Amino acid sequence: MSVRVGVLALQGDTREHLAALREAGAEAPTVRRRSELEAVDALVIPGGESTTMSHLLREFDLLEPLRERLAGGMPAYGSCAGMILLASEILDAGAPGREAVSLRAIDMTVRRNAFGRQVDSFEGDIEFEGLDGPAHAVFIRAPWVERVGPDVQVLARAGDHIVAVRHGAVLATAFHPEMTGDRRVHALFVDIVTGSA
């Protein structure tokens, strides 16, 4: 069953997600306009800069349409900045007037840049529930999850910190699987979209 999984292409690492989704068997168009958002079955929100992405969601009149699609049950996957935007609550959201916006798709509290600045970026193998073997995780100015609601499933931790979650058809990781060549997280998301996960 072919599904159309769009990648929000306002800012961030769009190309890598498009390639990963196509390798996982999905059609993968870019999404920059409301009509493109309406034409996809699911959406990936890539890494990037969460406050810039928030500003561009407003500028392109995508913020409320995206919130409506998510509230209506559209599956979504967010990596790094995408995880931040999918959260119901964001700590250290940014400067007043330039804050990261909450799409309220996952009942969780996320702290922006929790692992530190760009120079504190790191990578390593982590156990990820539902995958056959550890995932190699790349963390770049990454967030972590400080609180999850009762219906949110924790899929992975880095040390004591929650770095991957699932809430129904919405998946989020603090790290960047699209940068590793390991397509299992994207394949899991495509399975979520098709209803087989």
Active site residues: 80, 176, 178
- Residue 48 assigned to a binding site: yes
177 φ, ψ to 5°? -65, -25
- Residue 15 assigned to a binding site: no
DSSP 8-state symbol, 177: G
Do the Cβ atoms of 157 and 115 come closer than 8 Å? no
- Residue 32 assigned to a binding site: no
Do the Cβ atoms of 54 and 99 come closer than 8 Å? yes
- Residue 121 assigned to a binding site: no
Closest CA to 84 of 131, 29, 140: 140
Which residues make Cβ contacts (< 8 Å) with residue 53, sequence separation at least 6?
8, 10, 11, 12, 45, 81, 85, 100
Do the Cβ atoms of 137 and 184 come closer than 8 Å? no
User: The tokens of 114 are what?
Assistant: 């929790």
Which residues make Cβ contacts (< 8 Å) with residue 105, sequence separation at least 6?
70, 76, 86, 87, 88, 167, 170
Q: Which residues are annotated as a binding site for L-glutamine?
A: 48-50, 112, 140-141
